[in-house]
Structure 1
């Protein structure tokens, strides 16, 4: 449920994307207090979360199907293992203490797939635009197929212990964006 690599290559080639440089406040809050370990950042784009995680002591693998995004990430940090691949067909050769999917909508099967890559005690963190954002929020995709629902995330986390599943409001100068946050533990 996403645009293909060519779309994202063109988008990342546009250098006027200030929101791509710093980690999401929601992600930073959700991960605060976790001891660093092995982390996987899926659909990393230019790696804003991967670079931040590595600078915070995590051993990070970052995966995206946009070669342009990965090249930009690689230029920002050599402390991350960068992989050009589609997370819906790629599989890691290890398990992770953290699997992060920020602002990518992979559907129930995709979220379930990510949960399978967790080490015992590892956490899956998914944050993205909520379906309610379409009618009540600002920014984000305008197609419902690209938006999260609580039930979809709960179904994707089946077999994991859901620690948090909640709406997160992100106010800015244009209004308030509405996201969903899932934190689930194996």
Structure 2
């Protein structure tokens, strides 16, 4: 498996990609199709594309996506993931990355959207984070072990963490890396 460089592109003012995502992205097929869900300013899309994955960055913010679509290895989709239809029906990815975003009705879609052996890397805030800042609304905070409960029956869990973390900022986070058990036929 090729080694990907975590510092391939300048990241000033763009946000440094999550070490969790960088670490487990190594499991995604080299050069494969990766979905960066609710990508925001594209810190993960930029890093993935710079490391030669083909990235589809989706977000509702057209301005953020306009800058990303100028970069090699990135295609963009403008979609309101909470109110529009799922834009990837019938499409499968070698990897899906989700960071700091939660819309529970999409979780089953992520499972369906992975190729056989596809890798899901997900991290977001959980109960307890309200002590440190936003989000505070329970609709946007995972419950204890929620990612395990949702994904374990359908995916092989490679790594899982939950708890209070100090880096890059104090927060209560839940993280999972899991691989699809699907048999594409």
Aligned 1:110-121 pairs, distance under 5 A: 110-121=106-117
Matching residue of 1:98: 95
Following the alignment from structure 1 to structure 2, what is the Cα–Cα distance between the partners of residues 132 and 30?
A: 25
Contact 1:99 1:124 in 2 (8 A): yes
CA distance in 2, matches of 1:147, 1:168: 12
In the other structure, the counterpart of 2:142 is: 148
Distance 1:168 1:122, change over 3 A: farther
Give the structure with the larger helix fraction: 1
Aligned to 2:128: 132
TM-score by length of 2: 0.77
**Structure 1 residues not aligned, in runs of 5+:** 1-16
Shift of 1:154: 2.4
In the alignment, structure 2 segments of 5+ residues that lack a partner are 1-11, 181-185
Q: Deviations over 1:59-117 (max 9, x none)?
A: 11111112122123235x2420011013352232421110111110121x311211110
Root-mean-square deviation (CA, aligned residues, Å) is 2.3
Q: Which residue of 2 aligns with 1:60?
A: 55
Per-residue deviation, 1:168: 5.7
**Tell me, what secondary structure is at the counterpart of 1:110?**
helix
1:111·1:153 contact (CA, 8 Å) conserved in 2? no
The count of residues paired between Structure 1 and Structure 2 equals: 164
On the 8 A contact 2:34/2:95 being kept in 1, the answer is yes
